[in-house]
Amino acid sequence: MGKVRKRKPNKTQNNIVADVSDEELPVDSKENVIQTILDQLQAANVEEKYCGLQTFAFIIESPENIEQAIERGVVKAVAPLLLDPAGSVRNAAAGSLRNLSAVQLEVCDSLMEQDIMTPLICWFDKHAENWTPDTNSKTKMEDVDTFIQCINLLLNLCESSELAVKYLGQSRVLSILLPKYLDIGTFGCDIVASVLQCLFVVVEDNPDVMEKIKLTCEKQLQELMSIEDTDPSILLIRTLSAGVIINTCGGNMAVLPVNVINQIVSILAMTLSIDHRLVCNQLSSIVPLNDGSGKFEPPKGKDEQMLDCQLKSASQILDAQQRSIEIIANICSCDDASDQMEGPESSDSDEVGDDEDSNGEGVVLAEDKLPPEILEALISLNIFEKVWARTQLPAENVMLILKEYEGSKLLHQKLHTLQTRALLCVNNMLSSLPVDNLGGVNGIYKIWIDVGKLVFKESSENLYILESATAVMRAALDKIKFRENGKSGECDLFRDLSLSDIEMMITGIRECQVPEIRSNLIRMIGILALLLVNKLNETSSSVICAITDFILEQAHKENEVWVLAEAIDTLVDLYSEDETDELAAKVKLVEKLSILAPILKNKARQQRKLPKEYKVLVSTATSNLPRFIKYKKGRVTKL
């Protein structure tokens, strides 16, 4: 995940950069600017080419300019400049293309369509195979920066495109990089870390790359992982090395020796032990502040060096913590749990709602899937608590300071990314760790409450955070439901739940435009209703009926078949209990589900192109619904 790095304009070139400071340029003015860029990029003069690249880098900071620049073929003109004889031109080309590749996945697709990989691979062949940083060279820092930009461009492309990974495998790039560029003594921490970041991405689910790494640099990775140093740059390298080692095992950490497993988890724990909020608080005290008119007084001399050093260290800490959390999320991923539900044949009983096996007898629980040595390491080093701490952002005033200053804007973005990844990791850990190691039912309930504040009270506009947060809320209730099985007295946590308490959630679902978030919220309120089934009284019955009516209403409005399937599956789970027969009759559940059955079937026929997990959900709901209607109708008619 290469990050946007804003390029500083070369002071000697400022007088020739085109004036494009107005981001709302008329279409014809943009056309003129783009044509000027194209003319400059194709000039013989180094200054002209550099000027064109600087202007290109500036205009792509505005997303509305990107599509037009790509359509006009600017990328096709920039990419060959990776091979330009002038180092400054190569550096500017690499930086602008790397920034462009970090915008969004669709941009990377466009870059691939314009054959970005050919000049990029040629750059590695021509400039990386025999290069080492020359301490006496005036262009050393520029050459190092160009290398890092090209590596991150490659990383972004491979992360977005399977075709890029294929081209990489067919090229000599990995042979050039490994094991040479893992030598910290020769290349320094920044280059080694950038190479490891790239390997971390390209090795995943790629047997050829896995084998290549094992043959060429397995020993070096272990040596990097064993460096005794707490400097942020080394922590990042140790964390990435651990991640690459796990990925070379296909993600199956259990095949590693126990001492290596413990070493890896210890590294992750050490990385996550750094208080990222404290780091950012301290940093905010030396970041220049807005003078009220939108201007900043940049630091100079030693103050500038100190700020740059702390910005870099904070960035490395956040990168290391993000990768640590991604590794833990993968370790705790229980995707194979769904393999038992590949098709409609997964349930042959008419009483499809019967959940007797969910007490753990005769089935493998999600929390039993982790090998004991891994589970023990995660628990003994308090990994869950460390991951949970990463879901908390620094204070609002600190976030505002970081966001306003140009040099720290990227940290502001990284903090939100870290929070999102941490929430996704918490989601996986809730499924994989025993309840008692999550603070018991009360501890999980507190997680649900705390994340609920993030979703419903802070009105976050970040959809990625909302999606991951609602997934955590859903997983937390799932865990409580599973542990209590709807019968334990500890479900009194929700005994006072009233219609006003869920009104905010219902409003959130009605207004939600993102299917993934909508699905999580629908399932969540369904679980809440299920937890009330065995505490039936006048209040809880009215809440269950209101939730039922709402889910049925949403099901009729739903366009996405997999969200419709989720809604129907939620109702089937809720009313599978025999105690709900009277409520089912009261809300006319059988009649309303009978109307939804053909709608679900038609939408399933129309929307066939779905990810695997959604296909399983739709297939299961389509198969189970008719049987459930038959089963419930038989019970309701006997009332």
Q: Is residue 5 situated within a structural domain?
A: yes
Q: Is residue 254 situated within a structural domain?
A: no
Reported as a single tens digit per residue, the pLDDT across 205-225 is 888 889 989 899 999 999 999
- The two tokens of residue 334 are 């229980």
- Non-local CB neighbours of 535 within 8 Å, separated by 6+ positions: 491, 492, 494, 495
pLDDT of residue 13: 35
pLDDT of residue 265: 96
pLDDT of residue 551: 94
CA distance 397 to 283: 12
pLDDT of residue 283: 95
CB neighbours (10 Å) of residue 200?
23
CA distance 482 to 341: 18
Would you say how long the chain is, in residues? 639
pLDDT of residue 80: 95
- Non-local CB neighbours of 625 within 8 Å, separated by 6+ positions: 568, 572, 593, 596, 597, 600
pLDDT of residue 351: 41
Q: Is residue 83 situated within a structural domain?
A: yes
- The two tokens of residue 61 are 């900071």
pLDDT of residue 623: 94
Q: Do 526 and 574 form a contact (C-beta atoms < 8 A)?
A: yes
pLDDT of residue 143: 94
The residue among 449, 447, 387 whose CA lies nearest residue 418 is 387
Q: Is residue 464 situated within a structural domain?
A: no
Q: Is residue 151 situated within a structural domain?
A: yes
Q: Do 468 and 423 form a contact (C-beta atoms < 8 A)?
A: yes
The residue among 526, 529, 522, 473 whose CA lies nearest residue 498 is 529
φ, ψ (nearest 5 deg) of residue 632: -70, -35
Reported as a single tens digit per residue, the pLDDT across 513-569 is 889 989 998 999 998 888 888 778 888 888 899 999 999 999 999 999 999 999 999
pLDDT of residue 505: 77
For 392-434, the DSSP string reads SPPPHHHHHHHHHSGGGHHHHHHHHHHHHHHHHHHHHHHHHS-
Distances (CA, A) of 272 to 323, 417, 418, 556: 10, 15, 11, 45
CA contacts within 13 A on the Cβ side of 467: 10
Q: Is residue 22 situated within a structural domain?
A: yes
Stretches where the chain sits below pLDDT 50 are 1-27, 336-362, 486-490
pLDDT of residue 15: 34
pLDDT of residue 299: 83
pLDDT of residue 457: 65
DSSP letter (8 states) at residue 20: -
Place of tokens 């490994």: 178
- Helix/strand/coil for 88: helix
pLDDT of residue 25: 44
pLDDT of residue 347: 38
Q: Is residue 89 situated within a structural domain?
A: yes
CA distance 627 to 568: 13
Q: Do 428 and 329 form a contact (C-beta atoms < 8 A)?
A: yes
- Helix/strand/coil for 577: coil
CA distance 563 to 513: 12
Q: Do 23 and 62 form a contact (C-beta atoms < 8 A)?
A: yes
pLDDT of residue 247: 93
pLDDT of residue 454: 81
Q: Which one-letter amino acid corresponds to residue 575?
A: Y
CA distance 536 to 584: 13
Count the domains in the chain: 1
Q: Which CATH number goes with the domain that contains 128?
A: 1.25.10.10
Q: Is residue 327 situated within a structural domain?
A: no
- Helix/strand/coil for 158: helix
Residue span of the structural domain in which 63 resides = 1-175
pLDDT of residue 304: 86
